[in-house]
Amino acid sequence: MEVKIGVQYAPREIVLESGQSAAEIEQAVSEALTGKSPLLSLVDEHGRKVLVPADRLAYVELGEPTARKVGFSAL
């Protein structure tokens, strides 16, 4: 799933591909925004953890789940 995170006072957004489901990501964002967690913590497909301070979140955009690309094709 593609996730785009806007951070206040940052010129670019954070874009990552996550293996987490949309419900798991939504739950993590909800906990960060309600104050249950001081950080939004997400894990990308390579196992790297992305931490964003909850008070600096501008927006979180969830994209469509991405399918693995296999084979050769013309672009």
Q: What is the pLDDT along the chain (75 residues), one digit of tens a residue?
A: 899 999 999 999 999 999 899 999 999 999 999 999 999 999 999 999 999 999 999 999 998 766 666 667 665
The pLDDT value recorded for residue 64 is: 79
Backbone region of residue 42 per phi and psi (left: phi > 0; alpha: psi in -120 to 50; beta: other values): beta
DSSP 3-state assignment of 67?
coil
Q: Which pTM was predicted?
A: 0.80
Domains annotated for the chain, with CATH where assigned, are 2-62 (2.30.30)
d(CA 41, CA 28): 7
